[in-house]
Amino acid sequence: MRTLLTLAVAGIAVLLALPSHAQMGGGRGMMQGGGGMMGGSMVRHRFAMHNGIPAEYKSKKNPLKATSENIAAGRTLYTQNCAVCHGPKGAGDGEGGKALNPPPGNLVGLGRMPVASDGFLMWTISEGGTPVKSAMPPYKSVLKEEDIWRLILYVRTL
C-alpha cells in the first residue's frame, strides 16, 4: 500500500513538472504544429486511427530494398518535392509550409512509428492532403510508384 502511494505521489510530481498545454506550442498543443513535436503529421495519424486507410493502400509493402542507391535517390526526390514544406531535415519547418494550417508534418522519426506502415506512407504521399484537408499535394500523378517507394525509404532514415 505504501509503495502504491509513493508511486502515485511521484506520478503527480512528474505531471506537475511537465510544461502546460499553452507552453508546448503557443496554445496549440505539442502535437498541433507551429513548433510542436509532430506538427501536421498528427492530423493524418488521428484520421487514420479513426477511419483507417483505403483498402488499396492497406496491404502495400515496399518492394525495394533499402540500398544506399535507393535511399540516395529518395533523398534527391525529397529535396526536389518535399523539403520546401517539410524542411531540409524533415522537421516540418520548411519555408513553404510556414503559413499552412495544419502545418507540414514533422517527419523525423515518423518512419519508425507503428502507424507508419508502408501502406500508410504510400497513401500519405500518393493522396497528399486531400483526405485530411491539408495543403499537401497528391504525388500519385507526379511521381512513379517506384519513386514514391524510394522516397519512403529515405523518409524512414529521418
CATH class as words, domain 38-155? mainly alpha
pLDDT tens across 7-54, in order?
A: 333 333 333 333 332 233 333 333 333 334 445 567 888 888 898 999
Q: How confident is the model at residue 152 (pLDDT cuts 50, 70, 90)?
A: very high
- pTM across the whole model: 0.74
Helices and strands: H and E segment counts in the chain: 7, 0
Instruction: Look at residue 61 and tell me whether its pLDDT is greater than 80.
Output: yes
Q: Are 97 and 82 in contact (CB under 8 A)?
A: no
**Confidence (pLDDT) at 44:** 85
pLDDT digits (tens, 9 = 90+) for 87-137: 999 999 999 999 998 899 999 988 888 889 999 999 999 999 999 989 999
Answer for the pair 150, 73: CB distance below 8 angstroms, yes or no.
yes
The cell for 63 is 518492394
**Using 50, 70 and 90 to split pLDDT, how confident is the model at 4?**
very low
The C-alpha cell at 137 is 499535394
Where along the chain do its domains lie?
A: 38-155
Terminal CA-CA length for the chain: 45
What is the per-residue pLDDT for 41?
A: 65
- Average pLDDT value for residue range 69-78: 98
